[in-house]
Amino acid sequence: MKKDTYAKLVLVVVFGLLLCAVFFLFGKYRKVIMATDGYVDLTKENFTEDIISLNGEWEFYSDEYRLSDFQPSAYITVPYHWNSRQNRKLNMNEDGFGTYRLKVLLPKEGNYLMHVPFIPSAYKLFINGEEIEENGRLSGEGIKESAIWKPQNVVFYTSVKEIEVVFWVSNYYCSQGGIINPILIGSYKTISYDTTMNIIRSAFIMGMFAGLGLYLLLLFKPKTSNSKYLLLGVFCIIAIVLESIIGSYVIEFFWTNIAYDVLVKVEYISFAGCMLTLVNFFIYSYPHEIKKPFYKIVQVMNWVYLLFIIFGNENIFSITALAYTYLLIINVIFIFVLIIKALLHKIKYAGLSMVSVVVIFITIALDVLKINKLPYAFSRSGNYILGLLFFLICQMYVLSRENIDALEQAKKAKEMEIAFLQAQIAPHFFFNTMNNIYCMMETSVEQAKSLILDFCAFLRVKHRFDYRKNTYYSLHEEIDLIQSYVKIENSRFQGCIDLRVDVDEEGMKIMIPQLLLQPIVENAIKHGFAGKQLIISIKGRMEGKMFIISVQDNGRGMEEKSSVAILNNQSSSSGIGLKNINYRLEKCYKTKMQIESKLEEGTKIWFKIPVNTAYIQNGM
Q: What is the dihedral of CA 223, 226, 229, 232, to 10 degrees?
A: 120
Q: pLDDT tens for residues 367-414?
A: 766 655 554 434 455 677 778 888 888 888 888 877 777 777 766 666
* Domains of the chain: total: 3
Q: Which of 77-81, 150-154, 568-572 has the lowest mean pLDDT?
A: 568-572
60-118 tens-digit pLDDT: 999 899 998 898 889 999 988 898 877 888 888 888 899 999 999 999 999 999 999 88
| Omega before residue 121 within 30° of 0, cis | yes
CB atoms within 10 A of CB 471: 25
Q: Check whether residue 391 and residue 438 sit in a common domain.
A: no
CA distances from residue 279 to 228, 284, 375 in whole angstroms, order as listed: 11, 9, 29
**Residue 355 and residue 306 share a domain:** yes
Which tops the pLDDT comparison, 618 or 199? 199
Report the alpha-carbon distance of residue 182 to residue 277 in Å, rounded: 33
> What does the pLDDT read at residue 525?
87
Residue 427 binned pLDDT confidence (cut-offs 50, 70, 90)? low
Q: Quote the CA–CA distance of 66 and 60 in Å, as a whole number.
A: 10
249/377 same-domain check:
yes
Same domain, 445 and 398: no
Q: Which of 395, 9, 26 is nearest to 239 (CA)?
A: 395
Domain with 215 in it: 3-26+197-403
The last residue of one of the domains, among 403, 434, 458, is 403
Domain shared by 448 and 348, yes or no: no
Name the DSSP letter for residue 75.
E
Q: What's the pLDDT at 58?
A: 95
- In a shared domain, residues 51 and 13: no
Among residues 129, 158, 186, the one where a domain terminates is 186
Select from 148, 165, 186 the last residue of a domain.
186
Pair 268, 285 in one domain: yes
Residue 342 domain-assigned (yes or no)? yes
**144 with 88: CB under 8 angstroms?**
no
**C-alpha to C-alpha distance for 126 and 104, rounded to whole angstroms:** 13
Residue predicted with more confidence, 164 or 151: 164
Whether residues 202 and 171 fall in one domain? no
- C-alpha span between 49 and 530 (Å, rounded): 100
Cα 485 to Cα 491: distance, rounded to the nearest angstrom: 10
Specify whether 245 is located in the same domain as 375. Answer: yes
Report how far residue 460's alpha carbon sits from residue 517's, in angstroms, rounded to the nearest whole number: 20
What pLDDT sits at residue 99? Answer: 95
- The pTM (predicted TM-score) of the whole model is 0.63
d(CA 298, CA 309): 17
User: Do 240 and 217 form a contact (C-beta atoms < 8 A)?
Assistant: no
Share of the chain above pLDDT 70, in %: 79
Q: Which of 462, 425, 398 is nearest to 580 (CA)?
A: 425
Domain containing 70 — which CATH number?
A: 2.60.120.260
Q: Calculate mean pLDDT across residues 430-440.
A: 73
Examine the domain organization and report whether 412 and 381 are in the same domain. Answer: no
Helix axes of 3-24 and 188-219: crossing angle, nearest 10 degrees: 150
| pLDDT tens-digit readout, 320-338 | 666 777 888 888 888 888 8
The C-alpha atoms of residue 589 and residue 593 are separated, in whole angstroms, by 11
- Is the residue at 191 inside a domain? no
Q: Report DSSP letters for 288-352, one per residue.
A: GG--HHHHHHHHHHHHHHHHHHHHS-GGGHHHHHHHHHHHHHHHHHHHHHHHHHHHHTT-TTHHH
Among 44-53, 195-204, 394-403, 607-616, the range of highest mean pLDDT: 44-53
Looking at residue 354, its amino acid is: M
C-alpha distances out from residue 394 to 14, 309, 338, 352, 391, Å: 11, 30, 17, 7, 5
Average pLDDT, the chain: 79
Same structural domain, 87 and 219: no
